[in-house]
Amino acid sequence: MTAKQTSIPRILTTALLLLAPPAGCVSGRNDLPSWNDGPSRHAITSFVDRVTTAGNPGFVPAAERIAVFDNDGTLWAEQPMYFQGLFAFDRIKALAPQHTEWKDREPYRSVIAGDMKGLAAAGDMGLLEIMAATHTGMTTDEFAATAREWSASARHPTLDRRYTECVYQPMLELLTYLRANDFKPFIVSGGGVEFMRAFTEQTYGIPPEQVVGSSGVVKYELRNGAPALIKEPKLEFLDDGPGKPAAINRFIGRRPIAAFGNSDGDLQMLQWTTVDRGDGDRTPRFGLIIHHTDAQREWAYDRASHIGRLDKALDEAASRGWTVVDVKRDWKRIFPSGR
């Protein structure tokens, strides 16, 4: 409540209370229009009704309605590879004219030539070199400007649209629905935190301070008297797998009541959010996994995929009571426009 509201006469406040729908009835048949009326949609709305209904034993105060979302494969697509990797390749091509030596040097040659087999031969060290060349050695401001420009213009190789249009429409609706019920959504993703912040506020309505991700070491300097943070080629924190509960502890400091993911990289975050710790806490908790099952409208992949492998988390889902979204069955539409 802002100070301005404190001067509202009591009669108006009372009128507002009378006009507002009763607590717990915020959800309605118009929520989540891109979700088919089935078990996944029902699990979501039942949980939200339960924690938002005053007087219900499962009621959770608004300040504790923390929800955590993976990004790649959960809020936006992640095929044919993580979009941040495709950003790095685009940057190599854009920077190539200033680095004529790259033409004959791996892994740069393969990236410039679009030779994915050659790049694969360069292995993890090759990929790390590409990431260092495109993500470090500049100020955080310079990197942010580059990432913003890319996300506003670059296009997905097969979907033929901007990457920020490769977001899942049902998940955008879910974010809106949760916010309308006073949830505070955080992204907790293996992606680079500075890369994600270039688009997360505009695309998802999630402000930068609610974006948690992997990070590199930055070094503070006064450059010609102006303060700057220089991105160094050293990983500081990998926000994946067991790193996700550690990141939730460090950045949020409060146990979420809902977690949304799509791969084994989200397994520990789902456990941390939902599994009984034997401490007597009876707060309702919700876990959800998106299972990509629709090769026609987007992609179908799980246990054998190199990107977004979903194996152990899928095995645990039933015993943990996690909701598994079957994209083909549950989602009426996939993306905001087109199919």
Q: What are the Cα distances from residue 172, in Å, to 3, 76, 334? A: 32, 10, 10
Min dist CB 262 to its own copies, Å, is 19
Q: Where do we find the tokens 């404190």? A: 6
Min dist CB 151 to its own copies, Å, is 15
Complex with its own copies: residue 118 or 241, whichever CB lies closer: 241
Complex with its own copies: residue 27 or 36, whichever CB lies closer: 27
Q: Where do we find the tokens 């505070």? A: 184
The binding site for its own copies (CB under 8 A) comprises 2-5, 7-9, 12, 15-16, 19-21, 26, 63, 66, 140-141, 180-182, 184, 186, 193-194, 197, 207-211, 215, 217-220, 222, 224-229, 242, 245-246, 249-254, 268, 271-272, 275-279
Min dist CB 281 to its own copies, Å, is 10
Handedness of CA 240, 243, 245, 249 (dihedral sign): negative
Min dist CB 20 to its own copies, Å, is 4
Complex with its own copies: residue 19 or 125, whichever CB lies closer: 19
Q: Where do we find the tokens 């709305």? A: 45
Helix axes 312-320, 267-274, angle to 10 degrees: 20
Min dist CB 105 to its own copies, Å, is 32
The residue type found at 93 is: K
Complex with its own copies: residue 120 or 275, whichever CB lies closer: 275
Structure tokens that stand for 101 in this block = 């030596």
Q: In angstroms, rounded to a whole number, what is the distance separating the alpha carbons of residues 322 and 262?
A: 11
Q: How far is CA 30 from the centre of its chain?
A: 24
Min dist CB 108 to its own copies, Å, is 28
**Strands (DSSP E) found in 193-315:** 211-223, 226-237, 258-261, 286-291
Complex with its own copies: residue 163 or 177, whichever CB lies closer: 177
Q: In angstroms, rounded to a whole number, what is the distance separating the alpha carbons of residues 239 and 191?
A: 8
Complex with its own copies: residue 193 or 327, whichever CB lies closer: 193
